[in-house]
Structure 1
Amino acid sequence: MRILLLAGAFNSLTQRAHAELADRGHHLGVELVTRGTPLATLVPRHAPDLIVAPMLTTAVPREVWSAWPCLIVHPGPLGDRGPSSVDWAVHLGAERWGVTVLQANDAMDAGDIWATAECPVPAVGKSDLYRNEIADAAIEALLTAVARFASGTHRPEPQHTLPATRLLGRPRPPLRQADRRIDWAADPTETVLRTLRAADSRPGVRDELLGGTWFLHGGHPEDTLTGRPGELLATRHGALCRATVDGAVWIPELRPARAPGEPATVKLPATLALGDRLLPLPEAPAPLEAGDGPCTWTDIRYHEDGPAGFLRFAFPGGAMSTDHCRRLLAAYRYACTRPTTVLVLGGQRDFFSNGIHLNVIEAAADPAAESWANINAIDDLVHAVLTTTDRLVIAALGGNAAAGGAMLALAADEVWCRSAAVLNPHYRLMGLHGSEYWTYTLPRRVGPEAAGHLTARALPVTAARGQRLGLVDRILDCTAQEFGDHTGRLARRLAAAPGIQPRIAAKKERRESDEARRPLAAYRADELARMRRTFFDPDAPYHALRRAFVRKEPPPGTPAHLNAGAAHAGGTAQVSP
Structure 2
Amino acid sequence: MRVLMITESFNSLSQRLHVELRERGHEVSVELDINNDVTMQAVELFQPDIVLAPFLKRRLPGELTGRYICLIVHPGPEGDRGPAALDHAILDQRETWGVTVLQATADYDAGPVWASATFSMRKARKSSLYLNEVASAAAQAVLEAIDRIARGERPRLLDASKLDAGWRGPVPNGVRAIDWCRDDTRTILRKIASADGMPGCPAELCGRSLRLFNAREAEPVVGASAGTLIARSGEAVAVATRDGAVWIGHLIDDESPHPFKLPAIPALGEQTAALPVATVASPHGFQEIAYMEHGKIGILTFSFYNGAMGTSACKRLLAAYQAALQRDTGVLMLCGSTDHWSNGLDLNAIEAAASPADESLANISAMDDLSEAIIRTTDRLTISAVGGNAGAGGVFLARAADEVWLRSSVILNPHYKDMGNLYGSEYWTYLLPLHAGAENTARIGATRLPVGAAEALRLGLANRLFDASAGTFNAIAIEAAVAMAAHSDLPQRIASKQQRRALDEAEKPLDAYRQEELSHMRRNFYGFDTSYHIARSNFVRKRRKARTPSVLAAHRRSYVATASGGKQP
TM-score class, shorter: over 0.9
Q: In the alignment, does 2:481 pair up with 1:491? A: yes
- Whether the 8 Å contact between 1:133 and 1:479 is mirrored in structure 2 is no
- Give the counterpart letter for 2:270 in structure 1: D
Report the Cα distance in structure 2 between the residues aligned to 1:95 and 1:408, rounded to whole angstroms. 37
Which digits, 9 at most, give the CA deviation of each residue in 1:282-303, with x for residues without a partner? Answer: 221032xx7xxx5654111111
1:275 equivalent among 265, 269, 279:
269
- Whether the 8 Å contact between 1:77 and 1:169 is mirrored in structure 2 is no
* Structure 1: 5+ residue stretches without partners: 573-577
Secondary structure, in 3 states, of the residue corresponding to 2:144? helix
Q: In the alignment, does 2:58 pair up with 1:58? A: yes
Secondary structure, in 3 states, of the residue corresponding to 1:266? coil
- Give the counterpart letter for 1:383 in structure 2: E
Q: Give, in angstroms, the shift of residue 348 of structure 1.
A: 4.1
- Give the counterpart letter for 1:233 in structure 2: I
Which digits, 9 at most, give the CA deviation of each residue in 1:525-576, with x for residues without a partner? Answer: 10000101110125420010000000000111111111248989xx99xxxx
- Whether the 8 Å contact between 1:210 and 1:278 is mirrored in structure 2 is no
Q: In the alignment, does 2:423 pair up with 1:433? A: yes
- Whether the 8 Å contact between 1:222 and 1:249 is mirrored in structure 2 is yes
Name the structure 1 match of 2:294: 305
- Give the counterpart letter for 2:266 in structure 1: L
Which digits, 9 at most, give the CA deviation of each residue in 1:78-109, with x for residues without a partner? Answer: 11110001111222222211000010010010
- Give the counterpart letter for 1:463 in structure 2: A
Count of residues in correspondence between the two structures: 558
Secondary structure, in 3 states, of the residue corresponding to 1:44? helix
- Whether the 8 Å contact between 1:84 and 1:173 is mirrored in structure 2 is yes
The verdict on how the C-alpha distance between 1:177 and 1:405 changes in structure 2, with shifts beyond 3 A counting, is same
- Give the counterpart letter for 1:207 in structure 2: A
Name the structure 1 match of 2:216: 220
Secondary structure, in 3 states, of the residue corresponding to 1:429? coil
Secondary structure, in 3 states, of the residue corresponding to 1:521? helix
Name the structure 1 match of 2:193: 197
Q: Give, in angstroms, the shift of residue 413 of structure 1.
A: 0.8
- Give the counterpart letter for 2:168 in structure 1: R
The verdict on how the C-alpha distance between 1:277 and 1:434 changes in structure 2, with shifts beyond 3 A counting, is same
Q: Give, in angstroms, the shift of residue 347 of structure 1.
A: 2.2
Name the structure 2 match of 1:347: 336
The verdict on how the C-alpha distance between 1:282 and 1:37 changes in structure 2, with shifts beyond 3 A counting, is farther
Report the Cα distance in structure 1 between the residues aligned to 2:125 and 2:20, rounded to whole angstroms. 25
Q: Give, in angstroms, the shift of residue 169 of structure 1.
A: 7.7
Name the structure 1 match of 2:251: 254
Q: Give, in angstroms, the shift of residue 36 of structure 1.
A: 6.0
* Structure 2: 5+ residue stretches without partners: 561-566
The verdict on how the C-alpha distance between 1:36 and 1:277 changes in structure 2, with shifts beyond 3 A counting, is farther
Name the structure 2 match of 1:524: 514
How do residues 415-434 of structure 1 correspond to structure 2 at under 5 angstroms?
A: 415-430=404-419, 431-434=421-424
Name the structure 2 match of 1:408: 397
Report the Cα distance in structure 1 between the residues aligned to 2:488 and 2:386, rounded to whole angstroms. 26
Q: Give, in angstroms, the shift of residue 342 of structure 1.
A: 1.1
Structure 1 vs Structure 2 CA RMSD: 2.0
- Whether the 8 Å contact between 2:307 and 2:342 is mirrored in structure 1 is yes
Name the structure 1 match of 2:564: none
Report the Cα distance in structure 1 between the residues aligned to 2:329 and 2:16, rounded to whole angstroms. 35
- Whether the 8 Å contact between 2:30 and 2:554 is mirrored in structure 1 is no
Report the Cα distance in structure 2 between the residues aligned to 1:473 and 1:240, rounded to whole angstroms. 39
- Whether the 8 Å contact between 1:78 and 1:169 is mirrored in structure 2 is no
Q: Give, in angstroms, the shift of residue 171 of structure 1.
A: 3.6
Report the Cα distance in structure 2 between the residues aligned to 1:252 and 1:363, rounded to whole angstroms. 16
- Give the counterpart letter for 2:495 in structure 1: A
Q: In the alignment, does 2:386 pair up with 1:394? A: no
- Give the counterpart letter for 2:236 in structure 1: A
Which digits, 9 at most, give the CA deviation of each residue in 1:383-438, with x for residues without a partner? Answer: 00101111111111111100000000100111111111001101111120100000
Name the structure 2 match of 1:82: 82
Normalised by the size of structure 2, how large is the TM-score? 0.94
How do residues 532-551 of structure 1 correspond to structure 2 at under 5 angstroms?
A: 532-537=522-527, 539-551=529-541
- Whether the 8 Å contact between 2:205 and 2:227 is mirrored in structure 1 is no
Name the structure 1 match of 2:371: 382
Report the Cα distance in structure 2 between the residues aligned to 1:418 and 1:268, rounded to whole angstroms. 29
Which digits, 9 at most, give the CA deviation of each residue in 1:351-378, with x for residues without a partner? Answer: 0000001000000000000000000000
- Give the counterpart letter for 2:253 in structure 1: P
Q: Give, in angstroms, the shift of residue 258 of structure 1.
A: 4.3
- Give the counterpart letter for 2:229 in structure 1: L
- Whether the 8 Å contact between 2:34 and 2:547 is mirrored in structure 1 is no
Which digits, 9 at most, give the CA deviation of each residue in 1:222-260, with x for residues without a partner? Answer: 24555321110111111111111221111111111248x
Secondary structure, in 3 states, of the residue corresponding to 1:30? strand
Name the structure 2 match of 1:473: 463
Q: Give, in angstroms, the shift of residue 449 of structure 1.
A: 2.6
- Whether the 8 Å contact between 2:440 and 2:460 is mirrored in structure 1 is no
Name the structure 2 match of 1:575: none
- Give the counterpart letter for 1:105 in structure 2: T
1:365 equivalent among 354, 361, 365:
354
- Whether the 8 Å contact between 1:299 and 1:314 is mirrored in structure 2 is yes
- Give the counterpart letter for 2:279 in structure 1: P
Secondary structure, in 3 states, of the residue corresponding to 2:491? helix
Q: Identity over the aligned pairs, expressed in percent?
A: 46
1:186 equivalent among 176, 182, 188:
182
Q: Give, in angstroms, the shift of residue 452 of structure 1.
A: 2.1
Report the Cα distance in structure 1 between the residues aligned to 2:165 and 2:394, rounded to whole angstroms. 37
- Give the counterpart letter for 2:185 in structure 1: T
- Whether the 8 Å contact between 1:185 and 1:244 is mirrored in structure 2 is yes
How do residues 227-238 of structure 1 correspond to structure 2 at under 5 angstroms?
A: 227-238=224-235
Report the Cα distance in structure 2 between the residues aligned to 1:176 and 1:509, rounded to whole angstroms. 62
- Whether the 8 Å contact between 1:400 and 1:421 is mirrored in structure 2 is yes
Name the structure 1 match of 2:139: 139
The verdict on how the C-alpha distance between 1:295 and 1:245 changes in structure 2, with shifts beyond 3 A counting, is same
- Give the counterpart letter for 1:535 in structure 2: F
Higher deviation after alignment, 28-37 or 522-531? 28-37
Report the Cα distance in structure 1 between the residues aligned to 2:417 and 2:165, rounded to whole angstroms. 42
The verdict on how the C-alpha distance between 1:169 and 1:356 changes in structure 2, with shifts beyond 3 A counting, is farther
Report the Cα distance in structure 1 between the residues aligned to 2:164 and 2:388, rounded to whole angstroms. 28
